[in-house]
Amino acid sequence: MRRFCFFICVFLVSSLTLNAETAQDVLKKIEARQNEAMDAEIQVRITTIEKNGTKKVREGVIYQKGEDKRVFKFTSPADIKGLSVLSTGKDTKYIYLPEFKKVRRIAGHIKNQSFGGTDFTNDEISSTRYSDDYEAVELREGPDTKVITLKKREGSDREYDKIVAEVTSDYVIKRAEMYKNNKVIKVLDVTNINKHGKYIIGEKMIMRDLTKNRSTEMEMIKIEFDKGLSDEIFSERFLKK
Tell me the closest approach of the beta carbon of residue 47 to another protein, in angstroms.
Answer: 11
36: alpha, beta or left, given left = phi > 0 and alpha = psi -120 to 50?
alpha
Binding residues for another protein restricted to 64-103, rule: CB under 8 A: 77-79, 81, 89, 91-92, 100-102
Taking the C-alpha atoms of residue 147 and residue 220, their distance in angstroms, rounded to an integer, is 25
Q: Is 105 in the site for another protein (CB under 8 A)?
A: yes
Tell me the closest approach of the beta carbon of residue 49 to another protein, in angstroms.
Answer: 10
Between residues 166 and 209, which has the closer beta carbon with respect to another protein?
A: 209
Pick one of 6, 8, 10, 117: the residue that binds another protein (CB under 8 A). 117
Between residues 111 and 146, which has the closer beta carbon with respect to another protein?
A: 111
Between residues 224 and 236, which has the closer beta carbon with respect to another protein?
A: 236
Taking the C-alpha atoms of residue 193 and residue 131, their distance in angstroms, rounded to an integer, is 23
Tell me the closest approach of the beta carbon of residue 91 to another protein, in angstroms.
Answer: 6
Taking the C-alpha atoms of residue 193 and residue 172, their distance in angstroms, rounded to an integer, is 8
Binding residues for another protein restricted to 164-203, rule: CB under 8 A: none
Between residues 91 and 226, which has the closer beta carbon with respect to another protein?
A: 91
Single out the residue of 204, 164, 167 nearest to residue 185, CA to CA.
Answer: 164
Tell me the closest approach of the beta carbon of residue 93 to another protein, in angstroms.
Answer: 9
Q: Is 110 in the site for another protein (CB under 8 A)?
A: yes
Q: Under rule CB under 8 A, how many of the chain's residues touch another protein?
A: 35
Q: Is the dihedral of CA 56, 127, 161, 112 positive or negative?
A: negative
Between residues 106 and 148, which has the closer beta carbon with respect to another protein?
A: 106
Q: Is 47 in the site for another protein (CB under 8 A)?
A: no
Residues that bind another protein (CB under 8 A): 48, 50-51, 56-58, 77-79, 81, 89, 91-92, 100-102, 104-111, 113-114, 117, 157, 212, 214, 232, 235-237, 241
